[in-house]
Copies of this chain bind each other. A is one copy, B any other.
């Protein structure tokens, strides 16, 4: 760590899921970054435990899905939980500590090391903190407390272009900038713990909800390494002293749970983690309290763990933000796009608050009249809870819906659902989602239809010709470092004729660029041999062809007919300076 830079593109305060995801994104987009946390190390275990479909897709796009899938529990028989049917991935259950560990190991490989024991103590902005992205206007004084393992200066000022506050509820950054919140709280108190249960309850390896009126209720959730997570709602009518007893130790909590689970018995020898909490909801009034400062994750919103959403929404916040910062710094995008962080993520946070409130009320209602309130709420919000149902509204980064629908089943602002396609050259099948790795580039998916028809081949050639004229200015990089040279827009072709009918080298060279050392690129042209792409996306194979533009975060930015280079140009003109 001797070469730790004192000026970085992004400084991240807080190394929980939101901060680690931010650091991972920064590494992925080749921005310089440092991540500090005053804690002494990662979450040991316990805490959040549900990883939703969309989060798994994001982890895949970072290349860190394998350790999560390997350690987690998959496709548990869930009475209450539904994974998004629209994703390749179901829900995985794994403790927050293991998820953080996967991030940390990935960052270590990229030579980014979380600086534990490192606390921010002052924050000021250089006077030129305005539009110029080439300076480092955010100045954060940090000190190393306790064991200074990094050989760093005891006290140091880190200069950053942007500061990402991932330091949780009531965190230091928010308090420095006097960030206000809207707060709502409920009366119910919950205990939560991870134990290896010893029980004759037959469904202990299911996700269950057990109500025992009027004493309270228990939710169970099977976990990795024989663990089971228990959420125990304590009786509303208990007085303070009784409540204190019931939540004072895991032993007392499990005794309460056993009461609620009668006639079955429940005990344990090993407890991995425990805590208790009162349900409350908090949403900051401003996700961006300064032009150069963003709040993500718990720093922006907190709620009850009932929906298994916290870790997911935190990771998704950071994922939404970082590529935008990269586009501004590296590609010269108009900083106006940074406004979409709040316009896109605040509605998600608000929906989360609403869902949480509905879940808590449904739960209480269920307790009273044993209706299926919870199931209804969960069913209704299944897509949102899986993370794949989030649709961003029209903005400078999401085009406006039009009447013509060249891809009937795709909606602007949704993340592109994956379909199985087949590589034109080697015949290997792969998920479209796997191909959309996070590297900061937009992806233009070109669907020309059946290329055995000569007019289709001609229109494809005509389109790519005008496209390279239209987009050339955008492809220029602001930074000259070759490290940064990823194409701003990568083109991928998905054609619908049989694979053997087309020779890749007959296609326009934009779809198989040549490199002096690496030769042709064989990984940009695909066929719809599995018949999932055209039908799945609702693209007419006999129509004029279709273009689908995905943002670097896989959300659909723009859809047009084949040849609509004017529309594409219009989209990018709003973001980038486009000399005529």
Contacts and interface: CB of A to CB of B under 8 A. Distances in A.
A241 interface: no
B70 A517 contact: no
Contacts of A199: 519
Contacts of A75: 427-429
A518 interface: yes
A361 interface: no
B205 A426 contact: yes
Nearest to A506: B202
A155 interface: no
Contacts of A77: 426-428
Interface string A461-504: 00000000000000000000000000000000000000000011
Nearest to A75: B428
A405 interface: no
A425 interface: yes
Nearest to A228: B519
Nearest to A502: B202
Interface in A172-219: 196-200, 202, 204-206
A70 B434 CA distance: 12
B270 A206 contact: no
A503 B205 CA distance: 12
A269 interface: yes
A522 interface: yes
A222 B518 CA distance: 14
A76 B428 contact: yes
27 contacts: A66-B66, A66-B70, A73-B428, A74-B428, A75-B427, A75-B428, A76-B428, A77-B428, A196-B517, A199-B519, A200-B505, A202-B504, A202-B505, A204-B522, A205-B423, A205-B425, A205-B426, A205-B522, A206-B425, A206-B427, A226-B519, A226-B522, A268-B519, A269-B517, A269-B518, A270-B517, A270-B518
A221 to B, nearest CB: 11
A522 B76 CA distance: 14
Contacts of A222: 426
Identical copies in the complex:
2
Q: Sort A-B residue pairs by CB-CB distance and give the 3 closest, nearest first.
A: A77-B427, A205-B426, A198-B519
B202 A503 contact: yes
Interface of A: 66, 70, 73-77, 196-200, 202, 204-206, 222, 226, 268-270, 423, 425-429, 503-505, 516-520, 522
A206 B426 contact: yes
Given A205-B423, A269-B517, 12 more contacts: A76-B426, A76-B428, A197-B519, A198-B520, A199-B519, A200-B505, A202-B503, A204-B425, A205-B425, A226-B518, A226-B522, A270-B517
Contacts of A517: 196, 269-270
Contacts of A520: 198
Contacts of A518: 196, 226, 269-270
A379 B416 CA distance: 41
Contacts of A423: 205
A74 B202 CA distance: 41
A76 B503 contact: no
A310 to B, nearest CB: 24
A443 to B, nearest CB: 20
Contacts of A504: 202
Contacts of A516: 269
A366 B522 CA distance: 30
A405 B200 CA distance: 38
Nearest to A499: B77
Contacts of A200: 505
A206 B424 CA distance: 11
Contacts of A522: 204-205, 226
A198 B75 CA distance: 45
A427 B77 CA distance: 5
Contacts of A74: 428
A519 B222 CA distance: 14
A521 to B, nearest CB: 9
A82 to B, nearest CB: 14
Nearest to A65: B70
A425 B205 CA distance: 6
A428 B90 CA distance: 12
A532 to B, nearest CB: 17
Nearest to A424: B205
A268 B516 CA distance: 9
A188 B179 CA distance: 79
A410 B269 CA distance: 43
Contacts of A505: 200, 202
Contacts of A426: 73, 76-77, 205-206, 222
Contacts of A204: 425, 522
A222 B516 CA distance: 19
A278 B73 CA distance: 51
Nearest to A426: B205
Nearest to A519: B198
Contacts of A427: 75-77, 206
A204 B453 CA distance: 25
A204 B426 CA distance: 8
A462 to B, nearest CB: 24
